Amino acid sequence: MSAALAPRRSPARRVATLHALLPVAALVLLLAAVFLKQPRAMSYFGINLLLNLAIPVMFATLAQMMVLAVSDLDLSIGPFVSLVACIGATLMPEQPALAVLALAAAVGVYALAGALIEARQLPSIVVTLGLSFVWLGCAVLLLPTPGGTAPEWLRDAMRWRTPLLPLPIWMAIVTAIAGHLLITRSAFGTLVRGLGGNPGAIARAGWNMVRVRAGVYAIAGLFGVCAGLMLVGQATSADANIASRYTLVAIAAAILGGAEFTGGKVSPVGAVIGALTVTLAASFLTFLNIAPDWQVGMQGLILVAVLGLRAAIDLVGGRR
């Protein structure tokens, strides 16, 4: 039976495999280029330095990916990570209980936003755009000028010299596996992807749509909290705009990692690799002595190149 089926399955499968390999190839290519330019980076410390900044980006990307999975877009993740960082640098060291409460409340607001989007059928872009100003406002109230101090334990954790591989690599492996189990393997993840693919089918099957979407946003919020705490642990202090660029970086990384705006098609492993690639691209451009003014544009070009390749794979695979 499988022999007869093989011709039908293979082209679509091959396209899917190539799609999955694309972010990996982009990362390997960038790494090779970096090592060629800076052979000294090819060490425990070099890699640690190179990819350290990718840790918070990974979590922000996973948060964005959750929202992308249900065909929504989160424009508030950057300011949210900033707010978490500010909470980490101000409340956390002195009043840990209050800090935890504040973070829980913030995640609650995220879940509420998801419930609101579903219940009132609002466009997620509008709701999260509004929310982004709320986060920014809260962050400025907490920390009007850059400063604060991250708690000792958080700073120590981010400086941890992990055995065998540097911390960013371990982090990438752990988050990729956790994300894969959550989104690709678990029943809840299946439901989430189903909601992105065909909301009508989920509603007809009798699921509580409001609860599912609220859950998705709550998980996104949790990932955001992780991102913010790790960011402040690395930076040791915070400011209200510390992560504002994360919004777009996270979208770029998630898309780079194989997510699609049509919803229901996301890959957590790809998202983590995408986050590494985006961060590495910035470092690479610094090594090339390209002025910071040009770096953003060059990052964009790298993104366009990868997405262009993806479209080319589709074209050759005969999907469109």
Partner 1 sequence: MQDPLQASRGEVLVEARGAARAFGAVQALRGVDLQLRRGECVGLVGHNGAGKSTLVNVLCGALAPDRGTLHFAGRAADGAAWSLREARRWGLRCVFQELSLCDNLTLAENMRIAQPQSAEWAWRQRAGAQLMDSLDRIFPGHGLRPDDVVGELPIGKRQLVEVARAFTPGAQSLELMILDEPTSSLDGQAAAQLLAYIRCFVGEGRTCVLITHKLREIFAVTDRLVVMRDGRVVQATPTAETDRERLVTAMGQAVGKDAASEPGAPSTRPAAASGGASAVVQVPGSARHGMAMHAARGEVIGLAGLAGHGQTAMLLALQAAAQHGGKGAARVEGETAFVAGDRQTDGVFTLWSIARNMTVGWLAQLRARSPLLDLKREQAQAQQWRERLGLVTPDMDLPIGSLSGGNQQKVLFARALGSAAPVILMDDPMRGVDVGTKRDVYALIREEARQGRTFVWYTTEFDELHHCDRVYVFCNGRVVGELAGDDISEERVVALSFEDASA
Footprint of partner 1 (CB under 8 A): 1, 4-5, 9, 12, 185, 187, 190-191, 193-194, 196-198, 200-207, 264-265
At closest approach, how far in Å is the CB of 114 from partner 1?
A: 18
At closest approach, how far in Å is the CB of 203 from partner 1?
A: 7
Closer by beta carbon to partner 1, 46 or else 197: 197
Closer by beta carbon to partner 1, 200 or else 292: 200
Closer by beta carbon to partner 1, 6 or else 36: 6
Closer by beta carbon to partner 1, 157 or else 314: 314
At closest approach, how far in Å is the CB of 309 from partner 1?
A: 22
At closest approach, how far in Å is the CB of 107 from partner 1?
A: 24
Closer by beta carbon to partner 1, 1 or else 97: 1
Start-to-end Cα distance in the chain:
28
At closest approach, how far in Å is the CB of 68 from partner 1?
A: 12
